[in-house]
Structure 1
Amino acid sequence: MKFDLLTTFLEVSRTLHFRIASENLFITQSAVSARIKLLEDDLGVLLFDRSHKHLKLTREGHRLIKHANELLFMWQKTKHDVGIAEHDSMQLAIGSMMSIWDIVLQGWLQKIHRNLDGVSLFTNTYSPGELRKNVVSRAVDIAFLFEPPFVEDLVTEKVATVPLHLVTTDADYAEGNDLEHYVMVDYGESVNTKHMREFQDAPPAKHFMSQPRIALNYILQAGGSAHLPRQMTFEHVAANKLFVVESAPVYNREIFAVYLAKSQKTEIIKQAIGLFPYLSV
C-alpha cells in the first residue's frame, strides 16, 4: 500500500473537503480524488459518503483513521531506524502522556543527548492505553505513565515523585478551600479522587485541562489557580506572578517508566532510565 494514499485520506478526513485537502497537500484536486478512489478500490469499501452536499466519512472511513495513523507512524519510525543504522546508532523510541513530557522528560532527553552518544531518539505522545499496547508490540521502547500496567512481560520502574502545589495569581488568596476560578489538571485517577474528596464543599472547577503547561499559561493570562509541579512554577513564584497556597494540600504524583522485559535494547534502556538523578522533582 502506498503511504501517500493514507496521508491523503487522513487530510480529506480532517477537512472533509477535496479542494481544501488538495491545497494543504500541494497537489491537484483531481489527484486527491484519484488517490481516494485507489484506496477505496484497494480496500474494497467506500470511505466517504458523497451523496450529500457535504462530504461525510462512512463507518469504514472512521475505522480506517486509527489504522492509517498507526501505519504512518510505524513507517516513519522504520525510515528513521533504517536511516540511522549506517551511522552505527541505536534508535530509542520514547512514548509518554503529554503532561509527563512537560513535567520531567524535557530535561531527561537533554541528558540522553549529552551522555549516550550512540542513541538516536524517536518520540511521540500517546494515551495510557496506547502506551501499554505499543510497548508490548515493540513500537515503543520506554513508556512513561502515571499509573503503570500490571503485565507479566513488562518491567516497571518509578523514576520520579512530583509534588503538586496549589498556586494562584491572587496575592490575597487566603485559604486553600476557596477554589474560585480553579483549573483542574488531569494527573490521573488517584490525584483526581483525592482532590474531589478534600474539596467536596468547594465550587466545581471552572475549567478542566489535560496538560499542566496549558493550565499554567492559562492562569498566568486569565487569572485563577491550579495544582502544578513546583519546578514548572518556580520562576513565576519568584517573580510574584504566582503565589503558593501554603494551607492547601500537596499531592504527590508518581511517574513510572515501563519497558519490555525481554527487549533487545534492555542495556541502553537501563542506561537511559539511570539518567534520572533523583526521585523527587
Structure 2
Amino acid sequence: MDTELLKTFLEVSKTRHFGRAAEALYLTQSAVSFRIRQLENQLGVNLFTRHRNNIRLTSAGERLLPYAETLMSTWLTARKDVSQAFRHNEFSIGASASVWECMLSAWLRRLYYDHKGMQFEARIAQRQSLVKQLHERRLDLLITTEAPKMDELGSQIIGQFNLALYCIAPARSMSELTYLRLEWGQDFQQYETGLLSADDVPALTTSSVEIAARLLPALEGCTWLPTHWAEKHTHLAKVNDSLEITRPLYAIWLQNSDKLNQVKAIIKTPLVE
C-alpha cells in the first residue's frame, strides 16, 4: 500500500473538497484525483460520491477511514523511530534563498566550528513549505523574517537587517527604473505594494538575491536588498530617496521537537555578516 494514497484519502475525507486537499498537500487537483482513483482501483470500490461542491464518503470510504488513520499513524511513528537511530547528529535548517544568500551562509560556517560532530542540512524553500516540514518533523529549524502564527511553534528573534532600494550605480530615482520584486515575506509585501502604482508590474519576481542582482543591469532595474550585503558590491547604489526598512530575523521550531536542546544551543551562535 502506498502511504501517499492513504494520506491523500485522509485529506480529501477531511476537507470534502479536492481543490482544498490539493492545496494542503501541495499537489495539483488532477494529481489528487488520480491518487484517489488509484486507491479505489486497488480496493475495487468507490470511496467518494462526487457531485458538484458535495463530496461524501461512501459506506466503503467510511469503513476505510479508521484503518487509514491507524495505518498512517503507525507509519509516521515507525518512520520517526527508525530515523532517530541515524539522525541524532543531523540537524536541518530551512530558509528562503534570499535569507541563505545574505544572512546565513557565514553563520552556517560558524555552526560547524561551534558544534563539532554535527551534520547540517541547509534547505531552500518558501516559508509555507518549510512550516509544513516543521509540523511533519522533517525540518528542525526555520529562519524567516515573519513571526509564527501557531501556538505549537516556538520562536526567538536572532537578528535583524535593513532593506533599501538599490540599482546599478550611479543612483537614480525609482521612476526611471524597472521594478524587480525580491520576496521578503508577506508582511513586507504589504508595505511594498504601497510604494507601487496599480500600473506597476514587476518585470521579475524571485526569492533569490543573486538572480535579482544579476538582472539589475540588463533590465535597468531596482530591487530591495539588505544594506550590509549591497554595501559589499561597489557597482550598486541606493535609489534616490530610498528609505531603509528594518526587518527581524526569527528562528522558529516545533515546541515539542525531539531536538529542542540542539535548537537552543544552535540559536545561541550569533549571526555573522
TM-score (norm 1): 0.62
Verify the 8 A CA contact 1:81 1:91 in the aligned structure 2.
Answer: no
1:256 equivalenced with 2:255 (yes/no)? no
Q: Distance in 2 between matches of 1:104 and 1:79?
A: 34
Q: Residues 177-256 of structure 1 correspond to what in structure 2 (within 5 A)?
A: 177-200=174-197, 203-237=200-234, 241-245=235-239, 247-256=241-250
Deviation of 1:251 (Å): 2.1
Whether the aligned pair in 2 keeps the contact of 1:180 and 1:203 (CA below 8 Å) is no
What is the match of residue 122 of structure 1? 121
Work out whether residues 180 and 206 of structure 1, in 8 Å CA contact, stay in contact via their aligned partners in 2: no
CA gap 1:203/1:153 in 2 versus in 1, 3 angstroms:
closer
Q: What's the secondary structure of 1:219's corresponding residue?
A: helix
Q: How many residues align?
A: 207
Alignment deviations for residues 62-110 of structure 1 (CA, whole Å, 9 cap, x no partner)? xxxxxxxxxxxxxxx99986556xxxx6111112222221121111110
User: What is the distance in 1 between the residues matched to 2:84 and 2:104?
Assistant: 22
Q: Evaluate the alpha carbon distance shift between residue 269 and residue 171 of structure 1 in structure 2; reply closer, same or farther with a 3 A threshold.
A: same
> What amino acid does structure 2 have at the position aligned with 1:267?
N
Cα RMSD between the aligned structures? 3.4
Letter in 1 for 2:175: D
Cα pair distance change 1:106/1:200, threshold 3 Å: same
The one-letter code sitting in structure 2 at the alignment partner of 1:260 is L
Of the candidates 242, 264, 274, which is equivalent to residue 268 of structure 2?
Answer: 274
Closer, same or farther: CA 186–172 of 1 in aligned 2, 3 Å? closer
**CA offsets, 1:101-157, max 9 Å, x none?**
112111111011011003111232232222222212211110122223222221111
Map 1:31-50 onto structure 2 (within 5 A). Answer: none
Contact 1:160-1:255 at 8 Å conserved across structures = yes
After TM superposition, give the deviation of residue 255 of structure 1 in Å.
2.1
Partners of 2:159 and 2:249 within 8 A in 1: yes
Q: Does 1:167 align with 2:172?
A: no
Any gaps of 5 or more consecutive residues in structure 2?
3-37, 43-79
Cα shift at 1:196: 2.1
C-alpha separation in 2, matches of 1:91 and 1:142: 12
| Paired residue secondary structure (1:139) | coil
Kindly provide the amino acid, as one letter, of the partner of residue 150 in structure 1.
Answer: K
Match of 1:181, as an amino acid? T
Provide closer, same or farther for how the CA distance between residues 209 and 259 of structure 1 changes in structure 2, counting only shifts above 3 A.
same
Assess, with a 3 A threshold, how the Cα gap between structure 1 residues 106 and 270 changes in structure 2: closer, same or farther: same
Query: Structure 1 unaligned runs (5+)?
Result: 3-41, 47-76
Q: Distance in 1 between matches of 2:145 and 2:176?
A: 25
Percent of matched pairs sharing the same residue: 19
Counterpart code for 2:135: V
The separation in 2 between residues aligned to 1:172 and 1:102, in whole angstroms, is 24
Please list every run of at least 4 consecutive aligned residues from structure 1 whose deviation after the TM superposition is greater than 6 angstroms.
Answer: 77-81
Q: Which residues of 2 match residues 134-153 of structure 1 at below 5 A?
A: 134-153=133-152
Alpha-carbon distance in 2 for matches of 1:82, 1:210: 35
